[in-house]
């Protein structure tokens, strides 16, 4: 349930930290097999597949594009360990075609071309990193009033009356001192929550 909180004051200093979307859709990672890689030699410079090693997050997709003049494959596994391991296998695909695979589990995924075994590559899949800034957004209002927003709160706007609108999910609040009144109403009721006091209010994390 979304709630809207409005802080009213004569003067407002607003600081906003950007909160990125951790699990936003990732663009596919493109891997090309080097032109001429069907002939031994590219393994010496580790560029039979370009790039030979890619790192993606869980849920990421790798697309292999055949830009050479002959058939190739992208087959998971290691030849000396028995060859294909069944995780992914493009089969032979012709020049100008491509193959893609989405990786749903972290780990390292070596692969090779089944008809040109010197062609080897590696996909490293890592857990998605939460890169939310450690410094939370805050609104510091003149008159010894301070409010710190917990993770997940985003300052949406500030109108001409210096009222910053803040939206969050299931917020809870502890008011210090206790004689400050905090009114919480659901967004959409044409009412705004308001704190009209030059004191200190600490908002705890999301419920």
User: For the segment 153-174, what is each residue's pLDDT rounded down to a tens digit?
Assistant: 665 554 445 555 555 545 454 5
Report yes or no on 145 lying in a domain: yes
pTM for the model: 0.54
Q: Which of 82, 98, 126 is the last residue of a domain?
A: 126
Report yes or no on 24 lying in a domain: no
Residues 6+ apart with CB under 8 A from 61: 26, 28, 29, 100, 101, 102, 103
Report yes or no on 6 lying in a domain: yes
Q: What is the pLDDT of residues 13-50, one digit of tens each?
A: 333 333 343 344 578 999 999 899 999 999 999 999 99
CATH number of the CATH domain containing 88? 2.60.40.420
Are 168 and 113 in the same domain?
A: no
Are 165 and 180 in the same domain?
A: yes
pLDDT category, 1, cuts 50, 70, 90?
very low
Q: What is the pLDDT of residues 63-113, one digit of tens each?
A: 999 999 999 999 999 999 999 999 999 999 999 999 999 999 999 999 999
Residues of the domain holding 80? 29-126
> How many domains does the chain fold into?
2
Cα(142)–Cα(131) distance, rounded to whole angstroms?
31
Q: Which of 69, 95, 126 is the last residue of a domain?
A: 126
């Amino acid at each position: 349930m979304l709630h809207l909180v409005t802080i009213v004051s004569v003067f407002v200093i607003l600081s906003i930290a950007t909160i990125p979307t951790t699990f936003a859709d990732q663009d596919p990672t493109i891997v090309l097999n080097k032109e001429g890689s069907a002939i031994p030699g590219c393994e010496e410079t580790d560029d039979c597949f370009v790039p030979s090693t890619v790192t993606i997050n869980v849920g990421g997709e790798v697309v292999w594009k055949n830009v050479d003049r002959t058939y190739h494959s992208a087959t998971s596994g290691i030849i000396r360990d028995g060859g294909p391991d069944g995780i992914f296998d493009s089969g032979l695909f012709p020049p100008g075609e491509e193959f893609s695979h989405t990786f749903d589990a972290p780990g390292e995924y070596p692969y090779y071309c089944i008809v040109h075994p010197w062609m080897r590559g590696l996909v490293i899949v890592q857990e998605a990193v939460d890169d939310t800034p450690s410094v939370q957004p805050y609104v510091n209002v003149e008159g010894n009033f301070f409010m710190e927003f917990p993770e997940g709160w985003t300052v949406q706007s500030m109108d001409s009356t210096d009222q910053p609108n803040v939206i969050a999910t299931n917020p809870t609040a502890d008011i210090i001192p206790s004689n400050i009144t905090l009114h919480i109403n659901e967004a959409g009721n044409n009412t705004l929550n308001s704190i009209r006091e030059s004191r200190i209010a600490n908002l705890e994390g999301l419920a």
